[in-house]
Amino acid sequence: MSEVGSCSLVCVEEAVPLASRGTAGLALAGALLGGTLIAVTLPRLLVHRDSLPRRRLVIGCCAAAATGLSVGLLAMRFDGIELVAFGFLACVGVVLAAIDLVEHRLPGSLVVPSYGVLGGLLALEAVNTERWGNLVTALAAAILVALAYLLVALASSGGLGSGDVKFGGLLSMAMGWQGWSAVVTGTAVAWLGAAVVLLALRCVGRRPGAMPMGPLLLVGALVALVCG
C-alpha cells in the first residue's frame, strides 16, 4: 500500500471514532438535558401534581432516554444552528409528550414560546446560509398545518385538542425547513401511528377514548427530520 493510501486510511479510521464519540457525547448531553427539563417543568406544568411522586422516576428515565436518542439521531444528520434548533425541539417535544401521556393535554405555556425560539434559530440559519426559501416554507408549513388541524379539531368535536393544533404547527415549522416532502412524511407517519394504536386497542377489546396525539406527532416529525 502506498504512503498516501496508508495515510488516508489512518485518517478515515481516526475520523470515524471521533464522529461516533461526538454523536455519543451529544446524545448524553441530550439525555441529561431531557431529564433535567422533566424534573424542572413537570412539577410546574402538571395539573394533578399528586400523581407526580409515583411516576417521577419512570417519566424522568423515559424522557432522558428519549431525548438522548432523539438528539443523537439528529446529530448524525445536522450540525451547527440546525442541530441546536432541532435539538431544542426534541427536548421540548419530549416534555410535552410526557405531559400529554399523563394528562392528555399539551400546555400552551410551553408550546407557544417555542415558536419564537425555533423560528428565531431558523431565521438565524437563513441569514447565515441565505436559505430564505427554507424559512418561507417552514413558516408556511406551520400556518397551513395548524389551520388544517384546527379544521379537524372543529369537525371532530374534541377528537383533536387545541394543544395538538399548536404542537402540530410547531413541529411542521421544523419539518417545513426540510421541505414539503418532510411535512407530508412526518404527518403521514403520525396519523398512521394513531391508526395502528386505535386498531391495537380494538383488537385487545379496549374501547378507544381520547388518545394523546402529542407523542405520535413528535415521532412523525423526528422520523421526517432524520430520514428526510
Contact present, 175 and 221 (Cβ < 8 Å): yes
- pLDDT-derived band at 39 (thresholds 50, 70, 90) equals low
Lowest-confidence range among 76-85, 111-120, 150-159?
150-159
Q: How many CA atoms lie within 13 A of 109 on its CB side?
A: 7
pLDDT of residue 208: 59
Is 50 exceeded by the pLDDT of residue 11?
no
Lowest-confidence range among 104-108, 184-188, 204-208?
204-208
Residue 104 DSSP one-character state: S
Scanning the structure block, which residue is given the C-alpha cell 446560509? 129
Q: Map out the domains of the chain as residue ranges.
A: 3-227
pLDDT of residue 49: 58
Which residue in 176, 186, 187, 171 sits closest to 139, CA to CA?
A: 176
